[in-house]
């Protein structure tokens, strides 16, 4: 079915239950122990690979690095070239002083990368070179004013720009340093969530909605009162949408 296990707790039990062979005498599992199974994010609805590769070539040239060789024009060969291009970019950026002209093509390449895992290889060099706040502001701008493929890609890239919390050993409390950094970006998190919520409701593009929903907070307590009805509308749209991914995903977020 293509489900992805997010928590590994009770994995054997859940796999066994999924077969439909569970004995009737087996007690029902505690819901708190059952891992959530998420459907993988579907492929993008619009092919951005040509524009994406153009961005990679431009960035490699700006870095003064050597472009990887193109072998054949098959999908597999192109993906291999993209992998090598990202590696060349990361290496070159580590070795050279940061230049302003890198910023725009680097962010644009990150949002056009078709795979939501590989975009990390472009987002992290951008964070290291230009700082978290500037990168997040650029993604916000793409979400507001970009094309639909750019909006969808900005939502995918945003995931990798979030501030990670580091926890004290044996404790559920974050370290003071990581908590302070997390709090320092509260304004942009709030702005992102409010912008993404409005975009999800207003923009009917399927890829935009698919990419926004996983990172969308659907609790009304996270929003000002004037957006509470918008939260309810976002939930209604996802629950009643003809797209199976949206219908499945929203039930794990409310």
What is the reported pLDDT for 34?
45
Q: For position 12, what pLDDT does the model report? A: 30
The better pLDDT of the pair 4, 69 is held by 69
Return d(Cα 241, Cα 188) in angstroms, integer: 29
What's the pLDDT tens digit per position in 139-150?
999 999 999 999
Domains and their CATH numbers in the chain:
1-38 (no CATH), 39-251 (1.25.10)
The CA distance from 213 to 115, in Å, is 17
* Model pLDDT for residues 169-228, shown as the tens digit of each residue: 888 899 999 999 999 999 999 999 999 999 999 999 999 999 999 999 999 999 999 999
Question: pLDDT tens across 24-65, in order?
Answer: 333 444 444 445 567 788 888 888 889 999 999 999 999 999
* pLDDT at site 154: 97
By percentage, how much of the chain surpasses pLDDT 70? 85
Share of residues in the chain with pLDDT > 90 (%): 71
Indicate the SS3 state at residue 48: coil
* 2-6, 8-12, 46-50, 219-223: the lowest-pLDDT one: 8-12
pLDDT computed for residue 24 by the predictor: 37
Any idea which residue has 């093509």 for tokens? 105
pTM for the whole structure: 0.82
Confidence at residue 37, expressed as pLDDT on a 0 to 100 scale: 67
Name all contacts of 236-240 with Cβ < 8 Å and 24+ positions apart: 237/200, 237/201, 237/209, 238/209, 238/213
Stretch 69-77: mean pLDDT, rounded?
A: 84
Angle at 138 (CA atoms; ends 101, 224), nearest 5 degrees:
165
User: Mean pLDDT across the stretch 56-78?
Assistant: 91
Quick check: 20 pLDDT over 90? no
CA distance 84 to 78: 10
Residue 75, pLDDT score = 84
């Amino acid at each position: 079915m293509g489900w992805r296990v997010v928590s590994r707790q009770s994995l054997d039990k859940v796999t066994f239950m999924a077969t439909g062979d569970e004995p009737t005498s087996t007690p029902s599992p505690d819901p708190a122990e059952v891992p959530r199974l998420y459907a993988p994010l579907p492929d993008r609805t619009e092919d951005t690979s040509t524009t994406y590769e153009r961005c990679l070539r431009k960035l490699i040239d700006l870095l003064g690095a050597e472009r990887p060789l193109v072998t054949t024009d098959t999908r597999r060969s192109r993906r291999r070239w993209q992998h090598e291009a990202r590696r060349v970019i990361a290496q070159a950026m580590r070795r050279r002083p940061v230049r302003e002209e890198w910023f725009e093509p680097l962010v644009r390449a990150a949002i056009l990368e078709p795979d939501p895992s590989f975009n990390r290889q472009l987002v992290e060099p951008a964070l290291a070179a230009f700082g978290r706040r500037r990168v997040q502001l650029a993604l916000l701008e793409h979400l507001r004013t970009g094309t639909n493929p750019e909006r969808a890609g900005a939502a995918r890239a945003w995931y990798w720009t979030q501030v990670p919390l580091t926890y004290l050993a044996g404790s559920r409390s974050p370290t003071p340093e990581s908590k302070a950094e997390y709090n320092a970006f509260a304004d942009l998190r709030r702005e992102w969530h409010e912008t993404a919520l409005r975009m999800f409701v207003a923009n009917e593009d399927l890829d935009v909605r698919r990419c926004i929903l996983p990172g969308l907070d659907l609790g009304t307590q996270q929003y000002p009162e004037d957006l509470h009805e918008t939260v309810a509308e976002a939930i209604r749209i996802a629950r009643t949408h003809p797209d199976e991914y949206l219908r499945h995903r929203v039930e794990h977020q409310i």
